[in-house]
Homo-oligomer: A and B are copies of this chain.
Amino acid sequence: MNQEEIKYRPIGIIHTPFRDLRGVPIQPAFDQRNQGTIELKKEYLDGLKDLDGFSHILIIYHFHLSKGYRLHVVPFLDTVLRGLFATRAPKRPNPIGISLVKLIKIEGSIVHIEDIDVVDGTPLLDIKPYIRQFDEVEDYRSGWLSGKIGRGNQVKSDDRFK
């Protein structure tokens, strides 16, 4: 098995209204008024061409406030311990986050986004276009989340994953 270390560098920074983990919406789908910006490093500016035709983008980022990991966590939407990989909790062996956000407009190397759910200053690793045919499923089951998802808009982040 490949033990090799993989090295990435932020391609930019995500700016949001959230200075602290407390109060961050737990997923963008639950708080759709939050606007933010991606400040892409100038060297990558040309890569944004054609992106403005897409209504939504996937942003991939590093959970920079998350130290270490746990294999069992109590998710925000539950009250019992669940296997880490069955949750979106940040304390992961590789603390990589994904959010689906609305693309508002692009001005130079600044990408304006909506429905953002990360802490201000989060290092950005990648941007991908959201493509419905690749990113949606049929015959869907949601495991432990069944019946709990309706609570999502009442729940905010706290310090449990710091």
Contacts and interface: CB of A to CB of B under 8 A. Distances in A.
A46 interface: yes
A36 interface: no
Interface residues of A, number: 76
A129 B100 contact: no
Interface in A102-129: 102, 121, 123, 125-129
B51 A85 contact: yes
A98 B140 contact: no
Nearest to A51: B86
Q: Give the interface SS of chain A, mostly helix, strand, loop or mixed.
A: mixed
Contacts of A83: 46-51
Interface in A70-100: 71-72, 82-88, 92-94, 96, 98, 100
Contacts of A133: 27, 29, 149, 152
Interface of A: 1-13, 27-29, 39, 41, 44, 46-58, 60, 62, 64, 71-72, 82-88, 92-94, 96, 98, 100, 102, 121, 123, 125-137, 139-146, 149, 152
